[in-house]
Amino acid sequence: MKKPELSIVFPCHNEEANLPLLVEAIVEALTPLGIEYEVIITDDRSSDGSWQVLKKLAQQHPRVIGQRMRQNRGQSAASWAGMKISRGRYIVTMDADLQNDPMDLPKFIQALQQADCVCGSRVASRAEGDNIIRILSSRIANWVRNRLSDEQISDAGCGYRAFRRECIENLKFFNGMHRFLPTLFKIEGYSVIEIPIATNPRIHGSTHYGVWNRLFASFYDLLAVRWMKSRMFSYEIEERTDSALDDTAPR
C-alpha cells in the first residue's frame, strides 16, 4: 500500500458491534475520493470482544491497523497512541461509536485547504434531535470551557477533527488533552475553523459520558490550559550583529 495521505485515528472501548459498521462506512465515504488513507483503531483494553473483531477487520482490510493497550489508559492516551504510528499528511480523529458520521469526511478534507485544523460542530444537529438534558449539559460545558480557556469554539467537546500533521509534532500530550487540541494548536500558532456536522444516534452500546462528567471531568485540565495560555509571551528583535541570522530566526 502507498503511503497514505490521510490517517483516521480512533480510540475504542467496548465497541465490538460498531467496529465492522464503522470500517464499512469509512470505505463508502472515501472510495469515491480516490485518496490513499489508513484507519488506525486503538483498543483501550476493552472488556468485550472489540480486540478480536479488530484483528479480523485488519485481516480483511489492508488499510486497517489495530493495536491494543496493555492497560486501560483513557481516551487521550488511546488517541495519542494512534497518532504516534500514523503516517498521513493529514490526521482525522473521531469517535468509534458512529455518532460522528464518516460521510462528513470529504467536508473535513475540503476545509483543510482553508485552515490548519478543522473542528466539527454538532450544535445545529443536536438542536434537532437530542434530549433537552444532553443539550443543556453540553452547552453549559462549552460555556465553561470557553470562559476558562478564553475561546469561542461552539462545540469544544466534539472529538471529530482534522488537522495537518505538523500541528502535533511539538505537542506534549497529557491526560484529558484530547478535549483541548484546538486551543493547544492555537497556542502553537496554527489556524482553527469549525464546520457543521451531522450527529447520528448510537446504534450499539452505551455512551461512556454522562451529564456530570460532561460538566466536571475536564475542569482541572481547563485550569492547566488556562495557566499555559497565561504564561505565553512574544518578543521582537530590533537588530542583530549577524544579518545572516535574519533568514533563520523565528517570526
Residue 249 domain-assigned?
no
Q: Which residues contact 49 (CB under 8 A, 6 or more apart)?
A: 16
Quote the pLDDT of residue 187: 82
Residue 64 domain-assigned?
yes
Q: Which of 66, 21, 22, 63 is nearest to 44 (CA)?
A: 66
Confidence of residue 186 (pLDDT cuts 50, 70, 90): confident
Residue 250 domain-assigned?
no
Q: Does the pLDDT of residue 232 top 60, yes or no?
A: no
Decide if 19 contacts 97 (C-beta within 8 A). no
- State the average pLDDT over residues 193-221: 68
How far apart, in Å, are the Cα atoms of 101 and each of 6, 198, 227?
A: 17, 6, 34
Residue 245 domain-assigned?
no
Residue 239 domain-assigned?
no
* Matching residue, cell 497514505: 4
CATH code of the domain covering residue 46: 3.90.550.10
Question: ∠65-172-147 over CA atoms, to 5°?
Answer: 110
Residue 251 domain-assigned?
no
Residue 243 domain-assigned?
no
The pTM of this model reads 0.78
Quote the pLDDT of residue 177: 76
Tens-digit pLDDT profile for residues 82-136: 999 999 999 999 999 999 999 999 999 999 999 999 999 976 555 455 556 555 5
Residue 240 domain-assigned?
no
Confidence of residue 209 (pLDDT cuts 50, 70, 90): low
Mean pLDDT of the chain: 82
Please tell me the total count of domains within the chain.
Answer: 1
And the C-alpha cell for 144? 465553561
**Residue 117 structural domain:** 6-234
Q: Which of the two residues, 27 and 138, has the higher pLDDT score?
A: 27
